[in-house]
Amino acid sequence: MDEPWLSFYFAAQEIEERLGLSRGAAQAQLRQVCATGEVRSKKQPYTMVIFQPKVEGPWEQITPGEWRLEEIDLMIDGAGRAYFVDVSERDFLFWLKQQSISQGQKKREAS
């Protein structure tokens, strides 16, 4: 059974909208949560050929340790390949729900 995945940038946009963060802060938050292993991620290498992405290999899991070394969604490797990055939809939605609950509790405590 295939697991559903979301584009890294779509997931970051959801964080931006639901948690009220800037785009950069939302992307940094998603990288951080991938680095903890709470949200699993995968990557697929590509190169740009005449303004079109050309897939250069299969999807591979990204280990949490890789996120601690590189911003995988922004990196270009030594062979000139960039990476499409997806995150587990289930992991992401569970994490996002926990953040929304936590923010709601903080707001109630402040009032």
- Percentage with pLDDT > 90 across the chain: 83
The one-character DSSP state at 57 is S
Structural domains of the chain, count: 1
- Residue-wise pLDDT tens digits, 58-84: 999 999 999 999 999 999 999 999 999
pLDDT at 110 over 80: no
Q: From CA 20, how far away is CA 94, in angstroms rounded?
A: 18
Kindly report, residue by residue over 29-41, the tens digit of the pLDDT: 999 999 999 999 9
Report how far apart the first and last C-alpha atoms of the chain are (Å, whole number). Answer: 46
What's the alpha-carbon Rg for the chain, to the nearest Å? Answer: 16
Question: What does the DSSP assignment read for 6-50?
Answer: EEHHHHHHHHHHHHT--HHHHHHHHHHHHHHTSS-EEEEEEEEET
Supply the pLDDT for residue 19. Answer: 92
Q: Which residue range is the domain that position 40 belongs to?
A: 5-110
